[in-house]
């Protein structure tokens, strides 16, 4: 018996990975599958290319990265169509993703020298006869492993910063979105044709595992928490440093002084954009009791208006067919434990689509509250006050982003969320702010992409001291005398022994 292959499931045939649309099953494109030897070879070639790239300096790289940014911006409609064909994402969502990615390429290119370039730092009195210099040098070859849900933004969030820092990049796209990954690398090669500075290796998870062991100098992973642990274990064998951007279960808190229309609009967008397949998507809302009913009504009204379908709809298909079972299980479990479907419910799962579903009064120990659902579903639970909301929001091992709606206390609440990021009176906006770092805590991973921290993630700090005068109080020499040591002790007591 031949197994039924659901649309969207990647297929390997004749040494090629064939990517198909989750909506229609039509072929989106094909790429060659890399063998372990191919992966090693790609890293070797990238090592040589990386030396050339590093040698261009910040100015040469900036100029080329800005040309790449221009090219992506000019062809953004074409790329969005490809994202749609391969992953099912609505074209408008694809365009928003691409504009965010373009902004990151721009910022990384323009700021790499300022953040990473050589500079003097201040000396302290204790070593005043030395000057201090700091710079961040490239690691060499950075391996990037990416997911399918944001196939442009997530790899660029690592790759553009790694490239701006002077590294070469070998990228393993998700098996669900290899053609978009190849598009990124091919477009980069158009503006940097000289050397394979940015390369792909394609295949299933084993190719990602091979990349971890292929001698890369750093590995930047974006994907699920389960795979992040495997990546870290593989990289531990060679003490290869890792950056892990993993899953999430982000919460929104709605306070009593919130603008409820704005909160409902943002909750629906945050939960259901990209059919809910967003690492920083809002999956849980905690609304304080006095505004709970009105908030739920507004969410249901807005989510009920969303269109679902293959073309020009608000909500597209679920990209990874196996996720449909997870979404169904979460809805069933929430209802079986006493939750209520204010919109949608078990019948909402109509492969390859899931209609918007709003679950209320869902027990906190149910799968819909504790596990990543990755569908256009949302749980909304009432809480006594913001302290209870924060306690519940912080109760999970994940800690990626979050959102707060309110006026007086909103920023204070955002600061108390156990997460790497938060938006006040909006959702997901921190991902587009290229000046801010992006990353999680706990099971959501560690390390940062984007912003200054994101640039430093891809450089090794190199610290240099330089003597500029004779030491008045010599300490780091066998030539010091007992009188020098006595003077040192006196100086230390004067400097640090008081106040």
Query: Which positions touch ligand NDP (CB under 6 A)?
Result: 145-150, 154, 172, 174-176, 204-205, 208-209, 212, 222-224, 227, 230-231, 245-248, 279, 372, 400, 440, 445
397: CB partners within 8 A, 6+ apart: 442, 443
Closest distance to ligand NDP from the beta carbon of 123 (Å): 39
Task: Report the nearest approach of ligand NDP to the CB of residue 222 (Å).
Answer: 5
Instruction: Look up residue 347 and give its DSSP letter.
Output: G
278 Cβ contact list (under 8 Å, min separation 6): 149, 150, 270, 428
Identity of the residue, 64 or 202, whose beta carbon is nearer to ligand NDP in the bound complex = 202
Closer by beta carbon to ligand NDP, 270 or else 382: 270
Report the DSSP beta bridge partners of residue 254: 287, 405
Q: Which is nearer to ligand NDP, 280 or 386 (CB)?
A: 280
Distance CA 295, CA 69 (A): 41
**Cβ-contact 288, 413 below 8 angstroms:** no
Q: Which residue is catalytic, options 86, 279, 283, 457?
A: 279
Minimum CB–partner distance for residue 59 and ligand NDP (Å): 30
Closest to ligand NDP by CB, 345 or 442 = 442
Instruction: Give me the least distance between CB of 34 and ligand NDP, in Å please.
Output: 11
Q: In whole angstroms, how close is the CB of 397 to ligand NDP at the nearest point?
A: 13
Query: Of 172 and 302, which CB lies nearer to ligand NDP in the complex structure?
Result: 172
Shortest distance, position 225 Cβ to ligand NDP, whole Å: 7
Of 86, 97, 175, 245, the active-site residue reads: 245
CA proximity to 303, closest of 270, 346, 338: 270
Residues 172, 202: Cα–Cα separation, whole Å:
6
Nearest to 183 by CA among 261, 248, 87: 87
Is the preceding omega at residue 352 within 30 degrees of 0, hence cis?
yes
CB of 86 to ligand NDP, least distance (A): 12
Q: Are 272 and 376 in contact (CB under 8 A)?
A: yes
Q: Phi and psi of 233, rounded to 5°?
A: -65, -40
In whole angstroms, the minimum distance from the beta carbon of 129 to ligand NDP comes to 46
Structure tokens at 422: 């938060």
Q: Catalytic: 245?
A: yes
What kind and span of H or E run contains 411? helix 410-416
d(CA 337, CA 348): 18
Helix (H, G, I), strand (E, B) or coil at 398: strand
Residues 106, 67: Cα–Cα separation, whole Å: 10
- Main-chain phi, psi angles of 381, to 5 degrees: -120, 145
28/173 Cα distance (integer angstroms): 15
Residue 212 vs 318, nearer CB to ligand NDP: 212
- Please list, in sequence order, all residues whose beta carbon lies within 8 angstroms of the beta carbon of residue 162, skipping any fewer than 6 positions away: 142, 144, 169, 218, 220, 458
Report d(CA 461, CA 410) in Å as an integer: 36
Q: Which residue is nearest to ligand NDP (CB)?
A: 208
Cβ proximity to ligand NDP, 227 vs 425, nearer residue: 227
Q: What tokens does 143 get?
A: 């391996």
Q: Are the C-beta atoms of 160 and 189 separated by less than 8 Å?
A: no
In whole angstroms, give the CA distance from residue 373 to residue 323: 8
Closer to ligand NDP by Cβ: residue 258 or 315: 315
Name the minimum Å distance from CB 416 to ligand NDP: 21
Task: With CA atoms as reference, report the closest residue to 442 among 393, 473, 398, 472.
Answer: 398
Active site residue 175: no
State which residue, 190 or 325, has the beta carbon closest to ligand NDP: 325
| Cβ contact 46:142 at 8 Å | no
Q: Could you list the active site residues?
A: 245, 279
């Amino acid at each position: 018996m031949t197994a039924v292959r659901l649309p969207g499931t990647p297929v390997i045939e004749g040494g090629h990975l064939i990517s198909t649309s989750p909506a229609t099953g039509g072929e989106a494109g094909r790429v060659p599958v890399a063998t372990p030897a191919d992966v090693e070879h790609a890293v070797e070639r990238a090592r040589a290319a990386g030396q050339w790239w590093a040698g261009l300096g910040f100015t040469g790289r900036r100029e080329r990265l800005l040309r790449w940014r221009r090219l992506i911006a000019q062809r953004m409609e074409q790329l969005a169509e490809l994202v749609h064909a391969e992953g099912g994402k609505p074209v408008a969502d694809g365009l928003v993703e691409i504009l965010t990615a373009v902004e990151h390429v721009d910022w990384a290119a323009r700021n790499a020298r300022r953040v990473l370039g050589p500079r003097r730092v201040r000396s302290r009195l204790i070593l005043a006869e030395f000057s201090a210099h700091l710079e961040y040098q490239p690691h060499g070859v950075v391996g990037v492993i990416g997911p399918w849900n944001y196939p442009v933004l997530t790899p660029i969030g690592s790759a553009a910063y790694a490239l701006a820092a002077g590294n070469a990049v070998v990228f393993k796209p998700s098996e669900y979105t290899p053609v978009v990954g190849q598009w990124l690398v091919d477009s980069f090669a158009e503006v940097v044709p000289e050397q394979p500075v940015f390369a792909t290796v394609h295949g299933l998870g084993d190719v990602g595992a091979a990349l971890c062991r292929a001698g890369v100098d750093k590995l930047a992973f974006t994907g699920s928490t389960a795979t992040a642990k495997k990546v870290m274990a593989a990289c531990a064998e060679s003490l290869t440093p890792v950056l892990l951007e993993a899953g999430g279960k982000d919460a929104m808190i709605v306070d009593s002084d919130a603008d409820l229309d704005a909160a409902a609009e943002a909750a629906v967008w945050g939960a259901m954009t990209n059919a809910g397949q967003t690492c920083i998507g809002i999956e849980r809302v905690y609304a304080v009791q006095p505004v709970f009913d009105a908030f739920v009504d507004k969410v249901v009204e807005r989510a009920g208006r969303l269109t679902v379908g293959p073309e020009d709809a608000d909500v597209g298909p679920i990209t990874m067919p196996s996720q449909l079972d997870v979404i169904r299980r979460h809805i069933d479990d929430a209802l079986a434990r006493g939750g209520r479907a204010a919109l949608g419910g078990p019948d909402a799962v109509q492969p390859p689509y899931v209609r918007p579903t709003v679950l209320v009064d869902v027990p906190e120990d149910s799968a819909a509250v504790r596990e990543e659902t990755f569908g256009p579903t949302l749980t909304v639970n009432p809480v006594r006050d913001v302290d209870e909301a924060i306690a519940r929001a912080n109760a999970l091992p994940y800690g990626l982003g979050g959102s707060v709606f309110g006026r007086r206390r909103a920023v204070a609440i955002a600061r108390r969320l156990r997460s790497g990021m938060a938006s006040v009176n909006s959702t997901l906006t921190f991902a587009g702010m290229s000046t801010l770092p992006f990353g999680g805590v706990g099971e959501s991973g560690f390390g940062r992409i984007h912003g200054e921290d994101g640039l430093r993630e891809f450089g090794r700090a190199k610290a240099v001291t330089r003597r500029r005068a004779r030491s008045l109080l010599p300490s780091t020499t066998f030539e010091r005398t007992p009188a020098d040591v006595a003077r040192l002790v006196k100086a230390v007591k004067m400097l640090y022994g008081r106040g």
